[in-house]
Structure 1
Amino acid sequence: MKRLWQCHAILLLGLLSVFGLAWGQALELTDEEQAFVSSHPTIRVANDKHYAPFDFYENGKPQGYSVELIELLLTKMGFKVEFVSHDEWNDSIRDIQAGRIDVLTSVQLTETDSQYLLFSNPYLRAREVILKRSGDQSIHSANDLQGKIVAMPRGYDYLNVLRNRDVDFQHLVVANMQEAVDAVARGKADATMEAELVLQHIITTQGYTDLEMVYRVFGQEYENFYNCHFGVQHDLPILRALINKALIGLSMEERNRLYLKWFGKSLGLEVDPAQTAWQLTPDEQDFVRSKSALSVCVLPNWSPLTSMSPAGVHEGVLIDLLGLLNGNLKLPLVFRGAANEHQAKQLLGAGQCDLAVLPQGQTESADQLTWTKPLLSLPYVLAARSGQLFVSSLKEVEDQSFAVIRDEALLMRLRLLYPHLDMRLVDSADEGIELLRSGEVFGYIDTSLAVASAIQKAMVGNVKIVGKAPYDLNVALAAKRDDVLLHAVMQKSIDAVPDAAQRGVMNQWMSVRSEIGIDYSLVWRIGLGAAVLLALTLAWSLTIHASRKRTQYALAQLHHAQGQLEKQNQQLARVSVTDHLTGVFNRVRLDQVLADSLSEAVRSGKEFAVIILDLDYFKRVNDTFGHQGGDRVLVAVVNLLSQCIRKADVLGRWGGEEFMIICPDGDLAGATHLAQKLRHAIEQYEFPEAGRVTASLGVSAYQPGDTVNVLVGRADGALYLAKNNGRNRVESSPG
């Protein structure tokens, strides 16, 4: 069976009649169908966690096109929907064969699968492609996969397609398509096959730059399209009939909304999320009708995000953004102050607040909460006095002193990345800017909005933003984990707010307000006579002077704009090659360094070596401590590696929990010694949450005639040897 999570988004409108049904309208069911719904109130649907944006798991709930479509269809018929999440597609197949789930999504009708599945009418059409490495001129169609290594998960129908056409290939078994793409990129496989936008999504999110697609899988005679179906458990024919009835009754409005929401951006269409988001299920509608208002805990001393006015009214950027939600929700939000994050969580847990607006997921109680997508995301920035040039990294000024806003998540990140940073904690941006203005500290670190607001409020002219800290503040709405309907309604409310409205709120709070008045009647009484006399004698000189001033001002503005543009370009260039989480180079930059190092080695004979490091059993860390905990481990590992390597060595994140160190002028023996040093440093470190973590490392050095793929492939092979030999060890490949 083949996964078809993405389809080239060609809706089969010719196969499906269109009728105008809305969420709240029920389908007309026969007596037999109504009896089935009564006896099967909940339908269990498989959810694959790793196929965003078509079927995935994020923010504590299943999401994606397939998820939303089947939920819409089943809800119309009066069913409750229970999603059963799986890490691998084969787990979904086993569960439906064992009767533990009722429906699979996005499957291809085949004779083999018909033995245990009933197939719905088709609802999407998928365009198939072959993915290979750029520059591989040996693959022009599936016939060229003869003798090649093809990466695919078990159970994919593409395997049978190839075998039925007598293509004799080697099957590299992987858990999911992301692993398949990674295998092709790393040279462990020659190709893989899937629907185009599935592959394009993986390539874009992972930053691969050396892959390309073949669009004629078997030449002109093969159209490269499959129809997508829902697969229903074999002993549930009435459920299959009901799904088909709901598909036929799907309105054009509903079809277009889903189509644009999940496929519009992939097809290059301009899509406003507000046009596709606001559709409540019947249960969600009932929930909204049952509430007279929603109580929201806020922090009254978090200016300019939230604060308390002298009149005792809550105000701030977040208050205004939350006010936008009522445009669709029509449900008043009542704000309640909490002294700090901990108290807000306590009030939330005790039921004294329905929601809390807080920094996302940074406390011990995160497991008890469910979070919306960020309502607001702000970068932490570095402010300094106006004479300071642009700072691309805090490492450049690590020996200076800094005022830092009292934010535990930010402080933890700074301490991990810059353990020797001299920090003076402050409770407000006003306090931090004053310390900076008076020269008591070199810089001040806070969110961009807080810094800008404090500068404007104090009317400080000798302070400016000169850099960015390696962390962003994400503010979201938190609810108790069991408040599923509340979370869903608030998320849809946030999605439905137009971007222009959000920008309007931000612009309002970023604008400079001037309240200086002039008594013009006094000016006229005193200066009228003098003005008349001076006008005749000074008109010409004033005209010249004004012209000169305008010219000087225009030149100064141009110079300032050029300087700002240069700084922004420098920052953009840095961000484009930097891993957002850890602050080290990303894969794009590592590929550049590898290519440059190879060219230098070929030209001058200089040695260089490569180390690939992979954290052992890292999935257990994420499963045990959550992705936030896993992220903190990754940041700590980068800090350890940075302390152990030479200044000339290049450290970057290769992908996931894998890192690469490129060692200029390094031979195999020296790189192996360094790898042992890195392994030992990680093994001995006590991570704050996760305790002990180990790593496996593979090492290779440049040999004449090597390409980048060959060199990296040897290091990758050595890494897998280290894994197979027990982990927490170093293996090297001499050539």
Structure 2
Amino acid sequence: MHSRWPVIITLRHLILLLAVFSAAVMLAGGMAGAYQVQRQQLTASTLEANEAFATKLARTTSDLLSRAQSNLSYAAERIVRSGMAPAVQQAEVERLRHLELGFNSVTVMDMGAVVRAAAPESLGLKGRQLDLAQWRDRLNEKEPTISAPYVTGLGNLGIVIAQPLLDADGGHLGRLSATIYLRSDGALQRLARDQYFRDGTYVYVVDSSSRLLYHPETDRIGSVVLHNPVIEAVLKGDSGQMRVVNSRGVDMLAGYAHVPGADWGVVVQRPVHLTLQGLNDLMLRVLRQAVWPALALLVMLWLLSGWISRPLGELSRIVRDGYQEGMSPRIAAVNCWYLEARRLRGALLSGYGQVRTRMGELHSAAHTDPLTKLGNRRGLEIVLKTLETQRRLFAVVILDIDFFKRINDRYGHDMGDRVIAGLADLMQGQARQDDGVFRLGGEEFLAVLPQTDLADALRIAERLRAAMENAPLLDDAAVTLSAGVAVWDGGDVEATLKAADQALYRAKQGGRNRVESTAL
């Protein structure tokens, strides 16, 4: 018979292996669970932010086109009222050409397809007769129109906004039209291009045929994008959010909104890998910080395992159960009647505290605005839900920095960030113990004031407005803010937020640098 070497497995080895395995499972399970929760929250918040921004940008684009049509309508009325006077026609096209609406050319054409006025004059269109057969249908249009994008005679991709010239009886006198080039530095391009992101988010705009009207990569403007679910959805008139792999194979978190006046779509999207990059780095830092405590615990277990008896068995069973709430009292309750067992118990409690601390850091990062260290929208939701559950009276103050875009344009985005941080410092400095202060995004902030009626809330908002106006944030100008105040009456919290937002809108409309309120 062949003798075999006996496998020597001591109780010391078994307990050490069990402790190491259980600690690894606990750490991995806690890290994986925390990672998945934070990943889902980051993905959801990015989708919500992109949808909100796309909706805002679509609304602004629609307003821009409406203003363009309104200016054309006003000019057409003046031209018709003048009896189609040539001097008035030329004066109006020159005026329209120099508006900030970004018109590249403006023309007046009579019913014979003759250009009677044109700006700029360098185009050489004035006095020329165009192909009447080609223009007859458009000259007979009775409603204002926005054309589909087309390639002009000079090779530019553009759109035409047109206004018919009608006499008092509705008879056609001609057509006033303005052209906007989509590849030039016009208002539509500035509107999308000037949105400043540092996190990889970007904006693009498509027309009803899936043609790119704006894209950060200018060489793609004018190309048609097919088989993109986001574009297909937005061109159906929908607004929403979607995770999608784009036409170049990049996994994106997209928010989209429809521009009804022109049948366009606005899409704001950010790559998934950039969204999760910060979370990945945070998890790696947590893991690195946990290495040395884990190694120390391993050495301690090896030194003390030879003296283990029942107390060590109880501790190993607790560790084997994995991370869970209420774990600390269970460890503390073990009867460690000798020194080595007491030290092991202390090491396990320390490891549990570190994991709980790291998870607390992750939770704090998910509810805090990184620039101002104020609460973010998720933190606001928790505070409002708590106050609503407790049925505690509270006031809401929504604040918005006046002309913040001008500050960014004139002083740069670093100074803009300093202004935002300055307002955050003022809010924190004036906040009472139970008050909550939050940054909703951009230059918009919100304060929740528990146990505060409307009069007190107005005084607090006015004091903050005055402090902001007097704060030396810029060397050569004062920075002001507008505020809207509303008090929760025990009804719908969302209605209270909307009322405060409406009050803020009135403050803006009323000249800014003021406080308005809404009584529910």
TM-score norm. by structure 1 comes to: 0.32
> Which structure dedicates a bigger proportion of its chain to helix?
2
**Larger relative contact order, structure 1 or 2 (CA cutoff 8 Å, min sep 6):** 2
Look at both structures and tell me which one has the larger radius of gyration over its CA atoms.
2
Q: Quick check: which one's strand share is greater?
A: 1
